[in-house]
Structure 1
Amino acid sequence: MPGGAWTLHQVRHSALTHAAEDGANTSTLLAYSGHTSVASLARYASVFPEALVHWQEGRDPATRRR
């Protein structure tokens, strides 16, 4: 983080976000995080728009043929 070290909370948020961006499903993310509700998980796992586009392109049959 700019100007300082990462906190444990920031590392946890980052790990869950990367897992979500790598395609982990909701059940996996809930187990990984220890959360029991999707609402609380959503505060930690925020997928960046670029990662969503990349994920969608990988599943689009027209894109995969190129």
Structure 2
Amino acid sequence: MFLTDRKAKPGMAVGDIDPSTLRGRLSYRRALELFEHHTADFARGPFTLHQLRHSRLTHAAEDGASTPMLMRMSGHTSVRSLGKYAGPSAEALIRWQAHTDPAARKRR
């Protein structure tokens, strides 16, 4: 969650306030402006918040998150729509296969 620099204004919805810092959540528009500004100098930047979401789901999938966990994290209700977001790399697939291969585990 992207938060403001100061405490939330009175009357802000409780769901838009971080309970540990009492800072308010940025609007999507403002978060996008800041994120694009701060990623503009990267080789392929500026990046978007949608790319950040895609990246988070991909990394979670590569780390072994199950399909139900990825769906819960992303809010997807269809495995088909989740598929285009959570595409592990070939290297991640090789690591996962090596870790879950019963023959490989016996050799350890």
The percent identity for this pair of structures is 61
The runs of 5 or more residues in structure 2 that have no matched partner are 1-41
Higher-strand-fraction structure: 2
> How many residues are matched?
66
Choose 1 or 2 for highest CA Rg.
Answer: 2
Q: Which residue of 1 aligns with 2:49?
A: 8
The structure-2 alpha-carbon separation of the partners of 1:48 and 1:5, relative to structure 1 and needing over 3 Å to count, comes to same
TM-score (norm 2): 0.56
Q: Deviations over 1:8-55 (max 9, x none)?
A: 011000000000011111100000000100011001111111100000
Using structure 1 for the length normalisation, give the TM-score: 0.88
Instruction: Give the structure, 1 or 2, with the largest relative contact order (CA under 8 Å, sep 6 or more).
Output: 1
